[in-house]
Every structure is written in structure tokens, then in C-alpha cells.
Structure 1
Amino acid sequence: MINSPMALMFGLVLATAGWVPHGVSISALAKKLLGWSIIGLGFGIHLEQAIQVSAASIGLVLTTIFGTLFIGTMIGRWLKVEKKTGHLIAAGTAICGGSAIAAVAPAINAKDNQTSVALATIFVLNSIALFIFPVIGHWFELSQTQFGLWAAIAIHDTSSVVGAAGAYGDEALMTATTVKLARALWIIPVAMISSMMFKAKGAGMKIPTFILFYVAAMLFAWAVPAGEVIYQAIFQVSKQVMVLCLFLIGAGITLKKLKEAGKQPLIQGVMLWVIISSTSLAYILS
């Protein structure tokens, strides 16, 4: 069976070989399928466990979100990364990668090139995380719950979080999905704060609706327990759709996008990622 890292690699190979059809919007299709697969995962998450996991990790979630934003801003200034680009990279690292960047960008009136550079930077690190996080988790002998929590905090995009956690185990997947999507709810206040920071008049916010539908699916499964067999079937299908999403994401990578990330933004992204990954792992192991 093809797992998440393999799917991403196959997509990369196709894109590199030039075998991806140019008339198809790969990124749009991946984004749509990603949203549906996450909603489907909600049917397999037990509400009591979700509340328990979220409550246990709320302090760590808040500390890492606002700590990452602050440290990311400082690193960006030190490296002289363009201000809005640096803020988008910090926001993407702090919350949920591309979704956070997509929400914060209009809130600060970011230009297309600033947004694309931030997205490319986050995407490169996402791809690496999908491969190395399960290896590191096994090296440190993390439990399913520990790995799920670490993945939710230290990996950027929800797709890579779910991919890495799914490769580690179902319990890790449950923990990672719950914590990551609870974390993603902070897109709203972070986008509002960002708008005030940059004094962006007339700016708007685009909040991913799949978060709300994910919560609705989880609540429905809790309120109507008689459909447990069906819910588990939806959960398993959604995991496979997630693998397809990672294949499509890999197929959307081009050398041009990677080059657009540039040296300084990529250094900022790597430094911030190493800091948040190592400190959160140290805390989880303590």
C-alpha cells in the first residue's frame, strides 16, 4: 500500500519529469480534496477524547503559537526578510502552514509575490517533515499520543501533519488531527492581530470552512452513535484520500516555485522550524 511519503515522492517525480497535465489545476483539486478528507476524519474522532486532548495541550498550543510569531518576526528582521513575507512565514509556522498564510495574506494586504514566496518556503519544509518526523519519533520512542501532539505543533500544513501521524499510527492520527485543527481555530485572532499590526485598511480574512465542518462531523458522530460502523468506514476512506492529496501536492511542485522561495526566507523558515520542533519535542519528552 502506498503511504503518504511515497505518494508525495511519486508526485514530485511526475512534476520533475514534466508528466503533469498543464491544463489541470492540481493545487485547486488538492485543496478541495484535502478539505473533504479532513471533514471525513472528523467522523472517526471521539468527542470525549478530542476534548481531553485539547484541554491537556491548550497551554502548549498557545505558547507555541505566539512564541513562534514573536521569534519568527525577530529572525525575519535579523535576516532582513521583507516584512510581510517574514510575517507570513511566521504565521504559517505558528498555526497551519498554507491555510494560515492564505488567511493572513489578505488581512495584511500582502502582494502575490510575498504570498507565493512564503507558501513555497513552508511547502519545502512540509515535504521534509513528512519524511523525517516519523523517523525521529521512532528514534526517541515517542508514544502515539506524544508523536501526535508533536506533529500537530511542529509540522506546518494539516496535510503533512495527518500524513506523518497516519504513518505513525491511528492514535497518533487522532491526537494530531484534533490538536492541529483546534490550533487552526487561532487563524481568526491571528489574522485580526496581523491586520492591526500592519494597519491594513480594507483588508479581509479568508477562514477555512473545513474547520467548522470537521467539528460538525465530530459532533454528529457523537450525537448519533448508532452509525459507528459507517463513521469508521468514512474515516478509513478519508485517510486514503489524504494520501491522494499528498500525491497531488507533490505533483504541483516546480523548480520555479522552489527557486522563488529564495535564500533568506528559506533560512528564516528553517531556523524557526528547528526552534519550534526542538523545543516542543524537549517539552513533550520532559
Structure 2
Amino acid sequence: MKKILTLFSFLESNKTVQKIFFILLLLTCVFAKVSPPVALLLGLVVANLSGHPFLPFNHIAIRYLLQFSVVGLGFGMNALNALAIGSTSFLFTISSIVATIGFGYLIGRWLSIEKKTSHLISCGTAICGGSAIAAIAPIIKSDEKQTSVALGVIFILNSIALFLFPSVGHWLSLTQQEFGLWCAIAIHDTSSVVGAANKFGHEALEVATTVKLARALWIIPVALLTTILFKNKSSKIKIPYFIGFFILAMLLNTYLPEIALFAPKIVVVAKVGLTITLFLIGSGLNFNVLRSVGFKPLLQGVLLWFFIAALALVSIMCFT
């Protein structure tokens, strides 16, 4: 342990070596197929033990990488399939989104959480985790700290869900379809949804993936509503350009076979972009920032997560 602390002390004092170490970890996230939660954890380790050597550029990199990731994920969606399968879960989807965002607002007020942070956590829980936060953050003009806290809360819970949900599903003897629908609604991020459903079974994986992709389309109306709610009186309401590119990417993937041939590669690159973003977010989130935020955002995330998981589970078991 002393050797590790000595190493990080050396890294913190030697800026050149610190930069090399930072870049090596960044490349590890890119080429070693590191999962988003692990990337965030690696970033937190860097932030709190060796320091971020490129901190002044962190905010710009995070903003553009998040937007790029949202657009790239659109190439993994088929509009026709999403509409066809998503129609069967339409009521579950819209009711859970409205209930989660509404309950999140009440919890945020109750806990006196900063409005933008609370809204990001609510949207990330209600729709599709990091992708939703990536879409909403520029609309409400959240700063790096607010976005970092929201993403951190969401991905910590995602990593727990990946292991918890399959066990609960087997314990409750859920069918493949029930479990696929449940995890698509109750788990935040697509990567964790796919991972949990894959552990449960092939049919669950198909249902979960399709429903989650259809659910992700609700980024658009929620983003539009957010634009109205958070707009400045002195400015005009406008849809952020990357939301338009997100829609365009989905339509291209659906109607142009030529695009569909290399669309999966774009999605892979987009997911790598999100992984890098999380590493950068974690590397800018040191203990001083965490202490200034407190435990309340995490508590909001946990309460919302239990709320949506319980609500979805009861609804699925009673009405399907």
C-alpha cells in the first residue's frame, strides 16, 4: 500500500510522468474494452490520487464527446422496429417516464437538491441513463460538476443493477419476456440492460434491447419539454443541433441500406466515446467536489431507482 501511495505521490509531483500515466489510462479505456462504470472509476482514481494534468480542457472535451456519443447511438436504432415492438410497451414506457420525472422533482425539492442536478438524475433514471443526461445537459446549460454528479450516480447504480437484476428475476421466477421488459424500464443505461438481460436468457435479451431502444426515443420529447421549462426569458427556444443529428442518424440507419452496412461500427465508436467521456468526468471529480455535493444526489438516485423498479415490476406482473 505504501508503494502505491508513493507512486501516486511521485506522479502528482512530476507533471511529465503524470501526463504519460493519464494518457496510458485513457488509451486503456479505448483499446481494452473497459466498461463505462470501470472507466468512471479509473477517472476517480486519477482525480484523487495523481490529479488531472489537462483539467482546463476537460469541460470542452466532455461536452463534445457526450454530444457525439448521442448522435452515434442513433445509428444503432431502427425506427420501424422500435415503433412496432415499442407499441406493446407504450403505456409502461410513458407512465414510468412521467412518474419517475415527477417523483424525481418532488424528491429533489424535499432534499433541497440543486434544480439542474436533480433534473439530470431524474431524466437519466426515467429514460436511458448517460444518453439522456448527455442530451439534456446542454439544454439546461448544466456545468461540469452538475453533469458529473448525475452521470456518476447513474453509472454507479448501473453497475449494481448488472449483477442484482438477474438474481432477483430468477428469485421471482419471471418469464423471459417479463424480465426483458422489466430491466429495459428499470435499468438506466443500455449497456447494463443488455448485460443483465443476456445473463437471464436470449429471449429476454431480444425484448430488453428492442424496448430499450424504443424507450430511448423519448429523449426527444423530454428534451423539447426541458427546453421550454429551462429557457431563459431573454432567449428563443430552439432544439439543440445534436438532437436533430440524432434523429437523422436513426432515419439513415432505417432507410438507407448503405448506411446500415457500417452503422454498427459507428455505434461501437460512439460507445467508446461515452467510455472516454466517463473517464474524463471521473478524472475531474475529486473528493473536494464530492464533499461539496454531499450524499443527497446519490440518495435521490437510489430512491428513484427503487421507485421505478418496484413500479415497473408490479405493473408487469399484474398486467402482462
Q: TM-score, normalised by structure 1?
A: 0.73
Give the partner amino acid of 2:216. K
| Equivalent in the alignment of 1:7 | 39
Q: How many residues align?
A: 269
User: How far does residue 32 in structure 1 lie from its aligned partner after superposition?
Assistant: 1.7
- Larger Rg over CA atoms: 2
- Residues 206 and 245 from structure 1, CA distance in 2 versus in 1: closer, same or farther, beyond 3 angstroms? farther
With a CA cutoff of 8 Å and minimum separation of 6, indicate the structure with the bigger relative contact order.
Answer: 1
Residue 164 in structure 1 maps to residue 192 in structure 2: yes
CA contact (8 A) 2:153 2:297 kept: no
Pairing of 1:102-251 with structure 2 (within 5 A): 102-103=138-139, 105=140, 119=147, 121-139=149-167, 140-141=169-170, 143=176, 146-147=179-180, 150-151=183-184, 154-155=187-188, 161-168=189-196, 171=206, 172-173=208-209, 175-192=211-228, 194=229, 201-202=233-234, 207-251=239-283
CA contact (8 A) 2:145 2:285 kept: no
| Equivalent in the alignment of 2:48 | 16
CA contact (8 A) 2:42 2:282 kept: yes
Whole-angstrom CA distance in 1 between matches of 2:119 and 2:249? 33
Give the partner amino acid of 2:63. K
Whole-angstrom CA distance in 2 between matches of 1:227 and 1:265? 40
Q: What are the superposed Cα offsets for residues 146-205 of structure 1, whole Å, 9 maximum, x if unpaired?
A: 5576456552xxxxx13323544585455424412324432212442x359xxx743665
Structure 1 stretch displaced more, 115-124 or 126-135: 115-124
Equivalent residue for 1:252, pick from 281, 284, 291:
284
- Residues 29 and 46 from structure 1, CA distance in 2 versus in 1: closer, same or farther, beyond 3 angstroms? same
User: How far does residue 82 in structure 1 lie from its aligned partner after superposition?
Assistant: 6.3
| Equivalent in the alignment of 1:43 | 75
| Equivalent in the alignment of 2:8 | none
In the alignment, structure 2 segments of 5+ residues that lack a partner are 1-32, 199-204
Over the aligned positions, Cα root-mean-square deviation in angstroms equals 3.6
User: How far does residue 117 in structure 1 lie from its aligned partner after superposition?
Assistant: 7.1
Give the partner amino acid of 2:260. E
Whole-angstrom CA distance in 1 between matches of 2:55 and 2:110? 41
CA contact (8 A) 1:47 1:218 kept: yes
Q: Give the 3-state SS of the residue equivalent to 1:132 in structure 2.
A: helix
Runs of 4+ in 1 over 6 A off after TM superposition: 82-85
Percent identity between the two aligned chains? 29
User: How far does residue 216 in structure 1 lie from its aligned partner after superposition?
Assistant: 1.0
User: How far does residue 124 in structure 1 lie from its aligned partner after superposition?
Assistant: 3.5
CA contact (8 A) 2:67 2:134 kept: no
- Residues 240 and 94 from structure 1, CA distance in 2 versus in 1: closer, same or farther, beyond 3 angstroms? closer
Q: What are the superposed Cα offsets for residues 46-79 of structure 1, whole Å, 9 maximum, x if unpaired?
A: 2321212433333233222332343234334444
CA contact (8 A) 1:30 1:248 kept: yes
CA contact (8 A) 2:43 2:282 kept: yes
Structure 1 stretch displaced more, 127-136 or 244-253: 244-253
Residue 100 in structure 1 maps to residue 132 in structure 2: no
CA contact (8 A) 1:69 1:90 kept: yes
- Residues 210 and 58 from structure 1, CA distance in 2 versus in 1: closer, same or farther, beyond 3 angstroms? farther
- Residues 190 and 264 from structure 1, CA distance in 2 versus in 1: closer, same or farther, beyond 3 angstroms? same
Q: TM-score, normalised by structure 2?
A: 0.67
| Equivalent in the alignment of 2:65 | 33
